[in-house]
Structure 1
Amino acid sequence: MSISVKHISKSYKSVNALQDISFEVKEGELFGLIGPDGAGKTTLFRILTTLLFADEGTATVAGFDVVADYKSIRNSVGYMPGKFSLYQDLTVEENLDFFATIFGTTIEENYDLIKDIYVQIEPFKNRRAGKLSGGMKQKLALSCALIHKPKVLFLDEPTTGVDPVSRKEFWDMLKRLQQKGITILVSTPYMDEAALCDRIALIQDGKILEIDTPEAIVKYYPKPIYNVRANNMYQLINSLNAYEHNHSVYPFGEFVHYTDNRTDFNPDHLKAYLESRNLSNIHIEKTIATIEDTFMELAK
């Protein structure tokens, strides 16, 4: 296994950031850690990249123990933290040269690994990093994390605050890096990005809720789910929450995702109830559960 985590726990005073976390990531796998802010993703990344000690449990990365072999791990992994942490007063090229020198290599030596990414920022190689756009900062940070050809790549919420086009480009780059044999552990709060991973772990309040492929995670959803729409979204949500038979009610784009606690649910009965609450233009249709639906169900 490229990453092995066994019974890791970590607390900050009265806050249990991680509670008995265990999972494994195979070599060459693109593994996603999916959860909201405060779920424990960054704490786990810091433990696995030897920046933080766990209170309990053990972990290995690329075959090295995170405590005993921390120097070997630091030479074997690339880490892109959630906050842009490169030197903002240095240019793009100076940042890359600096990180290459730290690891005893050069841009030229591993250029093939970063080529697809670097060609997009090369026209700005003389611009200071602090003056780059969000998407360009992201690509520079990824290039710096890859410059020493790591075995494992850790990416902590790499697309947060980045525009949709740059997000798609970034995930396309990750797929190409995976084809080069690099193991990737990425965390994200975006449920749509979870579907792009080989396997995912859903995490909430420091606990793993479920681990499986995105396709299998969706199949865990226990009930039929319906898209519901009406003329007044705010009133619709309040009415569905007040409905005695509701199991779950969540806004989902232009619809509300609704599940019922009865086994013999009839959409016509729900429509009649909503009409009695003075709602109109009511539309109810069965839909397919998403990873977000499954996450919300497990988090309950």
Structure 2
Amino acid sequence: MRDFVWSAIFLLCYKGVGVDGVEQTLVRGVHVPSFALVGGHVPLECHYRLNGTPLYSLKWYHNGTEFYRYVPTERVRPINIQPSLIFSVTEQYRTEERVVLSLGRLTLGATGEYRCEVIAEHPTFRTEAATAHLTVLSEQPSLPLVEGGEEVYAPSDVITLTCRPPQHSPPGYAPTLTWLVGGVQVRQDKVKMTTRRQRPALTLSLPARQVEAGGGSVRAECRMSLGKHSLSAYRILRVRHTHRALVTTLHSGASEKASSTLCLRLALTLILMAHVSYVAL
């Protein structure tokens, strides 16, 4: 009886405190992609650490409905996967600190909250859970829109381009916009984020002299990201080389001057020859 009482007190009061007095955390992280496409597949990862305590069970829920259960002490059927019409479930691999699943054949109904629940073994049966949200898109988003720009810039110009998400992007989504020039992400002081009609816009301001110094031509890329999915739109920036035009002008003037001198010398030679012939007669 006394042992039972102490076990009950331990079960009710123990909260998993380590030797240093700091409460331990069972669930170390849940990794679920933010976005996916209908018909695609995504990985679900649950990381946990029991610090020497055996695992009683690990469960996955979608919007509160259990679809995966792992109970190590169940010898006959330690893994139980519930059939679903909104996605398929496959266990990729499992270790003492991680369980990785793969959801396939995704439907729009797969959108929602995914929760991993970890329960420690007797005597604590301590329970912890962590959640993440997945949104399933019906189709690939359209390319971002790039506004502004000229065919050719003068070196003294400031190049200004604005990037926006597509007009018919799904409501409620917050894509991330990034400018890259020559494959390198542009510094924050060269871009400006604004919002118009609840649509974000990212404006790039770049001195044309910088493009000229780099060869006179460079690709500017606007990248729109939704989770692991990204789409890009491009513009080729071209800047005139003023020193080339100056060299061409000087070369052209020097050629004309040399040509005039040659003609003058030829004319003087002909006159001299004619004069000598007249004197000989």
Q: Which has the larger Rg?
A: 2
Structure showing the higher strand proportion among its residues: 2
User: Is TM (by shorter chain) over 0.5?
Assistant: no
Structure showing the higher helix proportion among its residues: 1
What TM-score, normalized by structure 1, do the two folds share?
Answer: 0.28
What TM-score, normalized by structure 2, do the two folds share?
Answer: 0.30
Which structure has more relative contact order (CA 8 Å, sep 6+)? It is 1
